[in-house]
Amino acid sequence: MSNKALRVSEVSGGTAAALGLQMDDLILACNKIPIHDMQAFLKQFDGFTDKQAIEMRIKRGNKEIRLKGKIAARPFETDDKSEVIYEEAPYKNGTLRVIINKPKSTGKMPAMLFVPGYTCRSIDNLDPESPYKRIVKAFSDNGYLSMRIEKSGLGDSYGTPPCETCDLHDEVENFAAGLRKLKSLPYVDTNKIILFGHSMGGIVAPAVAAANPVAGVIVYGTLSTSWFEYILQMTRLQNKLGGMSTLQAEVSTKEGYEAAYRFYVRKEKLSQMASDTALLRLLKQQWEYDGNTRIYTRNAEYWRQIQDYPILENWQKIKAKVLVLFGESDFQAFSLYDHQNIVNTVNAAHPGSATLQSFPKTDHYMAASGNMQEAFDKFSSGKIKQLYKEFNPEVSDAVIRWSNSLCASANTSQTSRAEWRKLNTDKYPGKQDDICFIDENRGWYVNGYGSIYRTRDGGNSWEKQLEKKGTFFRCIAFIDSLRGFAGTVGTDYFPNVSDTIPLYATGDGGKTWNPVSYKGPYVKGLCAIDMVKEQYINHGNIAFRYHLYAVGRVGSPANMMVSHDNGETWESWPVTSGKMLFDIKMFNKENGIACSASSENMEESNALILSTSDGGKTWKQVYQSKRPFECTWKASFPSRETGYVTIQSYHPDTTVKEQRIVKTTDGGKTWTEHHLVTDAKAREFGIGFLDDKHGFVGTVNSGYETTDGGIRWNPIDLGRACNKIRIYKNADGKQYGYSIGVNVYKYISSP
């Protein structure tokens, strides 16, 4: 690219071929509008449609020429072994073009998302011999769905910012959008998704995988150290490969040191640096500075952000298997140390998860191009097509072998993964409401018949401890094997309920139950109990105190009962910030959230979440839906920061079908809505998460499971009207859980 024109580096079809453009032509103007850079050029094409008239003024050699013709859409790709599907993915205020190579088979299949290097070039209609196309085809030929997504502003993307203006964070968001699209495809096995990142894609791919679960991550030719270190070492190496003596190479490297330090470390503006004439010459000659905001053809911030990007931290967070590939003749991503560094970081966090494989005489483009000097000479002399032809098939073979092994392992894991299993319990005609366990064997559940059941063998068998006619037990909690509490919903909501006592207590493991006395206003009924275990020193010994919080109720009014002495004494007070209370989650004795509704009249009610910082004495609203006929129902916090709440919709219009949950990632301060399912009959009840990503929701007719933090949900059998899901972890870290609705179900995690 010159200062006043755009140089044609390749003619690959479409409008360029239709107009008769040739390599090394300089594009001076398009439809009489001067073209100074790629951004201006792409802007001209934003509104063009197929067969629209176009005129270009170019310079070919020493002659200026006007080329006239029509916009010619590039043909869609075809493939002999796969179906090529063109789709779109939402990004910012527009859409990105998605290209899918889908094997000609049925059923769900493993998938690969390709993440290319830094250049702003379309990944549509790739040269059949290019390394990118060879990797894509290797996957699709071996039964994997291969997906590419254009970078912002490229190809058939619409309404998105030009690639050259996007920074590194934009690019990570770009490919995260691609992963979301991939996971939404009905023919993709979401447990077998692999990211393949090349070059700078080796930084983007782990950033995406750190926040979004995948089965595997493969990278080729990337780095792990700071960009400042890398750029100096690369300059020194390539100076020598370019023919400089050792002294000349060192002098040249030192000349670039000041510019690199000022830009990457001290964060100086390019315009400030360019005020130095000598430095400006270096920026233009070595950094491809455009005199404005770009270096190396990209937004300068893209490069500067790499300096501070948490590259190894992202690798450490990844729970997927990792394959790191290194070409020994790669003069761009030349550091074996960097590649080994990635493997060491992953294996330190997750032993045995990462593998390094090196390929002798193989360069950055996966070509068997000879030693590093030979590879450099071919590249610098423009022999790109030759490098394409020299693609090393050992790379793609190794990638497929590793991916097949990974997916076979996923098959075994998936086969052995525990499922929810229905337990043998007494029949009940409707929704039972709560269940709790103190360890893997001992637990209790309650229902609207006034019944309390106990198990001593993990739910394999149950004994009825109590049946109290006229009582509707709604919630239950036990401190230990002897001390427990059962809350009732109260009168005037369900038929045949006469018991006005809100809370019962037992001190003998449930053999006998007695009403709980409390100070404060009358409590009509309760729907949930939560407790906080607090450690303290008692006469020099470690002891524990339990703080208990009970809230209710459905149908109003909203009240709360609290005990700070293991349930020995209780006090109550009204909650005025919401009209009903359905569930409570306390993080400690002062801070927590509650599920509520904005009105006791469901026709006017919005779903509501309340937050307290004084143990429930006062509450503030932190989330409110904008739709009538809604309330929240149950909450699950797999960690202190991440939590989920179900939203119930009672809308009488059956055309209103969307069901939603809400999610927080900042400990309940803010909440965002997520789609669950489009089904008017799938009114939600219980919710429970094994970790921040993997969880379950119960609805009137069925259940749903997510493994990606609520982005995608799949049907699962939790029985009808699953109202409460409890997840526990034993001393060895093994998870187990129980759910209750019409039936009781049990979950045990895989060993």
Task: Report the C-alpha gap between 303 and 317 in whole angstroms.
Answer: 23
Task: Report the C-alpha gap between 251 and 237 in whole angstroms.
Answer: 13
- DSSP type of residue 126: -
**Does the pLDDT of residue 748 top 80, yes or no?**
no
The pLDDT tens digits for 558-583 are: 999 999 999 999 999 999 999 999 99
Closest CA to 661 of 595, 737, 575, 584: 595
> Do 66 and 56 touch, CB atoms closer than 8 A?
yes
Among residues of the chain, what percentage have pLDDT more than 70?
A: 96
List b or e across 662-671, with b for residues whose CB sees 16 or more CB atoms inside 10 angstroms. Answer: bbbeebbeeb
Tokens of 388: 């394409």
The separation between CA 664 and the C-alpha centre of its own chain, rounded to angstroms, equals 14
CATH class of 6-70: mainly beta
- Given this model, what pLDDT does residue 702 score? 83
Where residue 678 falls among pLDDT bands split at 50, 70, 90? confident
Q: Before 454, cis peptide (omega within 30)?
A: no
**Does the pLDDT of residue 63 top 50, yes or no?**
yes
Q: How many helices (H) and strands (E) does the chain have?
A: 15, 43
Distances (CA, A) of 616 to 381, 488, 548, 586, 636: 73, 20, 11, 9, 18
The pLDDT tens digits for 611-655 are: 999 999 999 999 999 999 999 999 999 999 999 999 999 999 888
The pLDDT tens digits for 401-452 are: 999 989 877 665 454 445 788 999 999 999 999 999 999 999 999 999 999 9
Handedness of CA 709, 711, 716, 719 (dihedral sign): positive
CB-facing half-sphere around the CA of 161: CA atoms within 13 A? 12
- Given this model, what pLDDT does residue 751 score? 47
> Do 526 and 582 touch, CB atoms closer than 8 A?
no
Handedness of CA 186, 189, 194, 196 (dihedral sign): negative
> Do 505 and 516 touch, CB atoms closer than 8 A?
yes
Closest CA to 76 of 97, 95, 107: 97
- Given this model, what pLDDT does residue 140 score? 94
Only one residue has tokens 């004084």, namely 614
The β-bridge relationship of strands 109-115 and 145-149 is parallel
The pLDDT tens digits for 449-497 are: 999 999 999 999 999 999 999 999 999 999 999 999 999 999 999 999 9
Where residue 715 falls among pLDDT bands split at 50, 70, 90? confident
> Do 129 and 263 touch, CB atoms closer than 8 A?
no
**Do 432-574 and 575-751 show the same overall fold?**
yes
Q: What is the mean pLDDT of residues 51-79?
A: 87
The β-bridge relationship of strands 188-198 and 216-220 is parallel
Tokens of 355: 């593998």
The residue type of 216 is G
Q: Tell me whether residue 510 is exposed, middle or buried, using C-beta atoms within 10 angstroms of its C-beta: 0 to 12, 13 to 18, 19 or more.
A: buried
Tokens of 573: 């007070």
Task: Report the C-alpha gap between 605 and 584 in whole angstroms.
Answer: 19
Q: Which of 37-46, 259-268, 378-387 is least confident?
A: 37-46
Where residue 12 falls among pLDDT bands split at 50, 70, 90? low
Closest CA to 323 of 197, 171, 172, 227: 197
Query: To which CATH superfamily is domain 432-574 assigned?
Result: TolB, C-terminal domain (2.120.10.30)
- Given this model, what pLDDT does residue 2 score? 42
- Given this model, what pLDDT does residue 78 score? 87
Which residues partner with 216 through β-bridges? 194, 321
Where residue 314 falls among pLDDT bands split at 50, 70, 90? very high
- Given this model, what pLDDT does residue 370 score? 95
* Axis-axis angle for helices 168-184, 300-308 (nearest 10): 80
**Does the pLDDT of residue 51 top 80, yes or no?**
no
Tokens of 266: 């001290």
Closest CA to 128 of 80, 163, 86: 80
Task: Report the C-alpha gap between 659 and 701 in whole angstroms.
Answer: 13
**Does the pLDDT of residue 37 top 80, yes or no?**
no
Q: Tell me whether residue 514 is exposed, middle or buried, using C-beta atoms within 10 angstroms of its C-beta: 0 to 12, 13 to 18, 19 or more.
A: exposed
Task: Report the C-alpha gap between 685 and 699 in whole angstroms.
Answer: 5
The residue type of 501 is I
Kindly list the domain boundaries of the chain, sorted by start residue: 6-70, 82-220+311-415, 227-308, 432-574, 575-751
Which residues partner with 728 through β-bridges? 736
- Given this model, what pLDDT does residue 415 score? 40
- DSSP type of residue 644: E
Is the domain spanning 575-751 CATH 2.120.10.10? The answer is yes
Higher pLDDT, 701 or 567: 567
Q: What is the mean pLDDT of residues 540-565?
A: 94
For 357, residues 6+ apart whose C-beta sits below 8 A from its C-beta are 323, 324, 325, 326, 398
CATH topology of domain 82-220+311-415: Rossmann fold (3.40.50)
Only one residue has tokens 């290797």, namely 138
> Do 735 and 437 touch, CB atoms closer than 8 A?
no
Handedness of CA 355, 361, 362, 368 (dihedral sign): negative
Handedness of CA 390, 394, 397, 403 (dihedral sign): negative
What phi and psi values does residue 578 have, to the nearest 5 degrees?
-140, 160
The separation between CA 315 and the C-alpha centre of its own chain, rounded to angstroms, equals 15
> Do 193 and 168 touch, CB atoms closer than 8 A?
no
Task: Report the C-alpha gap between 70 and 48 in whole angstroms.
Answer: 10
Among residues of the chain, what percentage have pLDDT more than 90?
A: 76
Closest CA to 582 of 627, 631, 541: 631
First-to-last CA distance in the chain?
A: 59
Task: Report the C-alpha gap between 260 and 735 in whole angstroms.
Answer: 50
Q: What is the mean pLDDT of residues 225-230?
A: 91
- DSSP type of residue 322: E
Task: Report the C-alpha gap between 706 and 184 in whole angstroms.
Answer: 12
The per-residue DSSP string of 284-320 comes to HHHS---SSSEETTEEHHHHHHHHH--HHHHHHH--S
The per-residue DSSP string of 645-684 comes to EEEEE--S-TT--EEEEEEESSTTSS-EEEEEEE-TT--E
Which residues partner with 294 through β-bridges? 299
Where residue 372 falls among pLDDT bands split at 50, 70, 90? very high
**Does the pLDDT of residue 44 top 90, yes or no?**
no
Where residue 18 falls among pLDDT bands split at 50, 70, 90? confident
The pLDDT tens digits for 187-217 are: 999 999 999 999 999 999 999 999 999 999 9
Task: Report the C-alpha gap between 582 and 630 in whole angstroms.
Answer: 13
- Given this model, what pLDDT does residue 530 score? 98
**Does the pLDDT of residue 125 top 60, yes or no?**
yes
- Given this model, what pLDDT does residue 590 score? 97
**Does the pLDDT of residue 75 top 80, yes or no?**
no
> Do 370 and 359 touch, CB atoms closer than 8 A?
no
> Do 312 and 210 touch, CB atoms closer than 8 A?
no
Residue 602 has a CB neighbour count (10 Å cut-off) of 18
What phi and psi values does residue 73 have, to the nearest 5 degrees?
-65, 135
- Given this model, what pLDDT does residue 49 score? 67
Tokens of 481: 């094997």
Task: Report the C-alpha gap between 190 and 184 in whole angstroms.
Answer: 9
- Given this model, what pLDDT does residue 681 score? 87
Helix (H) or strand (E) holding 550: strand 541-552
- Given this model, what pLDDT does residue 1 score? 39
Higher pLDDT, 19 or 9: 19
SS3 of 239, please?
Answer: helix
**Does the pLDDT of residue 696 top 90, yes or no?**
yes
Length of the chain: 751
The pLDDT tens digits for 238-292 are: 999 999 999 998 988 888 898 999 999 999 999 999 999 889 999 998 899 999 9
